[in-house]
Amino acid sequence: MAKMTRGTAVLLGVGLAAGAGVAGAQTLNLYTARHYDSDEQLYSAFEDRTGVEVNVLQGDSDQLIERIEREGEASPADVFMTVDAARLRRAEEADILAPVESEVLVERIPSELRHPDDLWFGLSERVRIVYYDTEVYDEPPLERYEELADPRFEGEICIRSSNNDYNQSLVASLIEANGVEATEQWAEGLVDNMARTPQGGDTDQIRAVAAGECSIGVGNHYYWVRLALSDDPADQAVADRVGMIFPNQDGRGTHRNIGGAAMVAGAPHPEAAREFLEFLVSDEAQKLFSAGNNEFPAVEGVDPVAVLEPYVDYTLDDLNVAVLGENNAEAVRLMDRAGWR
């Protein structure tokens, strides 16, 4: 017992010293679910411009939300940043966000990428696309997400588990477009078409397509970009062999999700938080922010990384991303019922 208090006293001391730093005037405390090494550049660019130092706490979105909630009024969090619309929605439901009034943000970010009452703002876009094996299909084998459930693809499709946020958001968008009943039938059809038990991450699906384990895969676009830009020739070969389909071009557009940020309610440094958010929509920051994970910048007119330029004019589903969060729980249940692991 005595040892424990001594031990914790040491750690507590360290914590207090850090706490004092956190409480200083020229700081911004960021809770983020993004973890790209290039984000460091973003923070130092902000520091250079404003003199405000950025303290970072990285973690899983849901757990960061839980933590902010528990820290309550005493929370040091100024800005919360995450990579999935449903998580922003969850933060909103947990009452931990505060609106930011800023003409800059409203002007720069398209309305479907931000919260109707300015509770959060989308900063980059990612699309969930379909991959196919070019050695099996000369032409793209399908044009719409709905076709993934078509019996003609029996035993051909690789997709990851329904535990995954991105699949949950995709299904949430399908619920909005086609209703619960039709989407459940679709999920059942998709489960029948699966080449294997859902496993691994998005990159694993792309690799499985390139290895011939399945001829069609589903994954976010940037995992392909990462393979294409890799130094490893084997990765490049994977990227070369698979083709990409941006589904539903003739209809509502390809499903998109966002990386976004919000000010935390009761933020100790609300001015710095607003400045930081406004900085994130500047041309300079948008480039860094989107390049960190090869995403599409949310602000129009800012170019994505070169390899994505051919795709900037594709039609994306202009459903307000807030809806993805609203339908999330229903989507999970629906996938459970369909037996989607």
Nearer to other proteins, 291 or 299 (CB): 291
Q: In terms of Cα–Cα distance, which of 5, 101, 85 is closest to 259?
A: 85
CA distance 89 to 318: 17
Contact call for residue 212 and other proteins (CB under 8 A): yes
The residues that bridge with 262 in the sheet, in sequence order, are 80
CB of 177 vs other proteins, minimal distance in Å: 21
What is the phi/psi pair of residue 36, to 5°?
A: -110, 135
Among 202, 275, 295, 317, binds other proteins (CB under 8 A): 202
Q: Which helix (H) or strand (E) holds 130?
A: strand 121-133
Q: Does 95 bind other proteins (CB under 8 A)?
A: no
> What is the footprint of other proteins within residues 13-32 (CB under 8 A)?
14-16, 18-19, 22-23, 29
Determine contact, residues 108/299, Cβ cutoff 8 Å: yes
Q: For other proteins, which is the closer residue by CB, 90 or 108?
A: 90
By beta-carbon proximity to other proteins, the closer residue of 199 and 315 is 199
Q: Please state, in angstroms and rounded to a whole number, the distance separating the CA atoms of residues 286 and 98.
A: 23
| Using rule CB under 8 A, residue 307 touches other proteins | no
Binding to other proteins (CB under 8 A): which residues in 44-73? 55-60, 62-63, 66-67, 70-73
The number of helices, as runs of H, and strands, as runs of E, in the chain is 14, 10
Between 58 and 315, name the residue whose CB sits nearer to other proteins. Answer: 58
Q: Which residue stretches of the chain are H helix?
A: 2-23, 39-50, 61-71, 85-93, 103-108, 165-178, 180-193, 202-211, 221-228, 233-241, 270-280, 283-291, 322-326, 328-338
Task: Give whichever of 104 and 228 is closer to other proteins, judged by the CB atom.
Answer: 228
Smallest separation (angstroms) from other proteins to the CB of 313: 28
Q: Is 289 helix (H, G, I), strand (E, B) or coil?
A: helix
The residue from 102, 168, 257, 327 that contacts other proteins (CB under 8 A) is: 168
Count of positions on this chain that bind other proteins (CB under 8 A): 66
Residue number, 49 or 337, with CB nearest to other proteins: 337
Q: Under a CB-based contact definition with an 8 Å cutoff, are residues 59 and 33 in contact?
A: yes
**Residues forming the site for other proteins (CB under 8 A):** 1-4, 7-8, 10-12, 14-16, 18-19, 22-23, 29, 35-37, 55-60, 62-63, 66-67, 70-76, 90, 161, 163, 168, 197-204, 207-208, 210-213, 223, 231-232, 328-329, 332-333, 336-337, 339, 341
